[in-house]
Amino acid sequence: MNAFLQFQKKYADSDSRFFESGGFRVHYKVFGKGEPLIVLLHGSFLSVRSWRDVVAPLSEKTTVLVFDRPAFGLTSRPVPSPENDVRYSPEAQSDLVVRLIEEVGHEKAILVGNSTGGTLALLVALRHPRQVQGLVLVGAMVYSGYATSEVPAFLKPLLTGMSPVFSRLMKFLITKLYDRNIRGFWYNKALLSDETLAAFRKDLMIGDWSRAFWELFLETHHLGLEKKLGNLEVPSLVITGEHDLTVKTEESFKLAREIPGAELEVIPNCGHLPQEEVPEAFVAAVMLFLEKSMKML
For the stretch 36-72, pLDDT in tens is 999 999 999 999 999 999 999 999 989 999 999 999 9
pLDDT band at 296 (very low <50, low <70, confident <90, very high): low
The CATH number of residue 179's host domain is: 3.40.50.1820
Q: What distance in Å separates the CA atoms of residue 80 and residue 76, rounded to the nearest whole number?
A: 12
pLDDT digits (tens, 9 = 90+) for 59-69: 998 999 999 99
Contact between 18 and 25 under an 8 Å Cβ cutoff? The reply is yes
Structural domain span for residue 51? 3-296
Statement: residue 1 has pLDDT above 50: no
DSSP 67: E
Residue 227 DSSP one-character state: G
Distance CA 76, CA 155 (A): 27
Contact of 77 with 71, CB cutoff 8 Å: yes
Question: In the chain, which ranges are continuous DSSP H helix?
Answer: 3-11, 55-58, 90-103, 116-127, 156-161, 163-183, 194-204, 209-218, 249-258, 274-277, 279-296
Residue 152 preceded by cis peptide, ω within 30: no
- Tell me the pTM: 0.95
How many domains is the chain built from? 1
